[in-house]
A and B are shown apart, each in its own frame.
Chain A
Amino acid sequence: MMLLKSKNIVGLILCTLILSASVPMLMGIQNTPQTIFGGDMVAVTQVNSSTKLNVSMLDTIKSEPNVVSASAEITCFSVVNDQPVLIRGVKLNDFLALEGGELVRGSVGNPERFAVIGSTLASKIGLDVGDRLLLTGSSNPALFQLEIDAVYSGRYSEDELLVSLPHARKMAGLGQDAVLFIRVKTTNQTALVETLEQQEQAVVVTTPGGIVTPVNTEITDEERAQQQLAIRYLDTAQFKATNGSYVSIFVQEGSNSIRVVVTTFIILDGALAFIGSAAIISRAVIERRHEIGIISAVGADRNYLRKLIMRDAFVMSIVSSLLGLGIGYLILIFIEDRGLLRMFGESIHPMINAQILLGMFVASVLIHMASALMIEKMLSRVKPRELMQETEKLDREVDAPPLNIVLGMDA
Chain B
Amino acid sequence: MNRRIFATILGIAFCATYLAGTTAMVGGLHDTTSSLAASFDQGPVLVYTDGDFANSRVGGDLLPENDTSFIAFCFANVTLTDFNSRTLGNVYAVSVYDPDDVLGLNMTDESLDTGVWVGTQLADIMVSKSISATTNSRYMLNRGGNMTIVQVSALYSEGSIMPDDWLLISRESMDALRPELEGDYSFLMILDSPIPLKEQPFYVKDTSLTPTSGVVGFFERGIYQVEQGLWGIILMSGLMTAILVYCIISIETEYSAPTIRILRGVGASREYVIRVFMFKALFITAIGGILGTAMGFCAASAISSMSSLANVMTFITPVANLRSVLLPFLISVISGAVGGFWPAMKASRMFVARRNDA
Contact = CB atoms under 8 A, between A and B. Distances in A.
User: Is A–B contact present in the complex under a CB 8 A cutoff?
Assistant: yes
Interface of A: 11, 14-15, 17-18, 21-22, 25-26, 29, 76-86, 110, 112-113, 131-134, 136-145, 147, 166, 170-171, 221, 225, 228, 232, 235, 237-238, 240-241, 247, 249-254, 256-261, 263-265, 267-269, 271-272, 275-276, 278-280, 282-283, 286-287, 340-345, 348, 390, 392-393
A257 B41 CA distance: 21
Where chain A touches its partner, the secondary structure class is helix
Contacts of B96: none
A80 B15 CA distance: 40
Interface residues of B, number: 89
A10 B65 CA distance: 67
B221 A112 contact: no
Interface string B203-235: 000001011111111111111011011101100
B315 A232 contact: yes
Given A79-B221, A145-B75, A264-B22, A29 B211 contact: no
Contacts of B7: 282
Contacts of B17: 268, 271
Contacts of B237: 18, 22, 269, 272
A225 B307 CA distance: 14
Contacts of A144: 163
A241 B213 contact: yes
A19 to B, nearest CB: 10
B291 interface: no
Contacts of B250: 283
Residue from B121, B244, B247, B312 whose CB has the most chain A CB atoms within 10 Å: B244
A117 to B, nearest CB: 13
A263 B303 contact: yes
Contact of B53 (A145, A240, A252): A145
B163 A237 contact: no
Contacts of A86: 218
A86 B225 CA distance: 14
Contacts of A257: 29, 32-33, 223, 314-316
A276 B41 CA distance: 48
B137 interface: no
Contacts of A15: 240, 244
B155 interface: no
Contact of A77 (B43, B215, B243, B247): B215
A113 B125 contact: yes
Contacts of A348: 229
B313 interface: yes
Given A268-B17, A342-B225, A133 B41 contact: no
Central interface residue in B92, B214, B312, by most chain A CB within 10 Å: B214
Given A240-B39, A256-B312, A393-B2, A138 B215 contact: yes
24 contacts: A14-B240, A18-B240, A21-B236, A79-B210, A79-B218, A113-B121, A134-B52, A139-B213, A142-B163, A142-B213, A143-B162, A145-B75, A232-B315, A241-B40, A253-B315, A254-B33, A260-B304, A263-B307, A264-B22, A267-B303, A268-B296, A276-B240, A283-B251, A287-B254
Contacts of B210: 79, 134, 136
A343 B225 contact: yes
B248 interface: yes
A18 to B, nearest CB: 5
Given A84-B225, A263-B303, A276-B240, A143 B212 contact: yes
B51 interface: yes
A18 B299 CA distance: 19
B84 interface: no
Contacts of A393: 2-3
Contacts of A238: 41
Q: Please name the 4 residue pairs, one residue from A and one from B, whose CB atoms are nearest each other, closest first.
A: A141-B43, A344-B222, A78-B214, A77-B218
A278 B2 CA distance: 18
B158 interface: yes
Nearest to A87: B214
Interface of B: 2-3, 7, 11, 14-15, 17-18, 21-22, 25-26, 29, 32-33, 36, 39-44, 46, 48, 51-54, 75, 77, 90, 92, 121, 124-125, 128, 158, 161-163, 165, 189, 208, 210-223, 225-226, 228-230, 232-233, 236-237, 240-241, 243-244, 247-248, 250-251, 254-255, 259, 296, 299-300, 303-304, 307, 311-316
Contacts of A78: 214-215, 217-218
B43 A113 contact: no
A25 B225 contact: no
Contact of B244 (A132, A139, A264, A279): A279
A131 B214 contact: no
Contacts of A147: 90
A233 to B, nearest CB: 12
A324 to B, nearest CB: 11
B283 to A, nearest CB: 17
B228 to A, nearest CB: 7
Nearest to A17: B240
A240 B216 CA distance: 11
Contacts of A392: 2
A247 to B, nearest CB: 6
A278 B41 contact: no
A143 B240 contact: no
Nearest to A248: B215
A337 to B, nearest CB: 15
A134 B54 CA distance: 11
A276 B15 CA distance: 8
Given A141-B213, A147-B90, A393-B2, A341 B240 contact: no
A237 B215 contact: no
Contacts of B220: 84
A26 B232 CA distance: 11
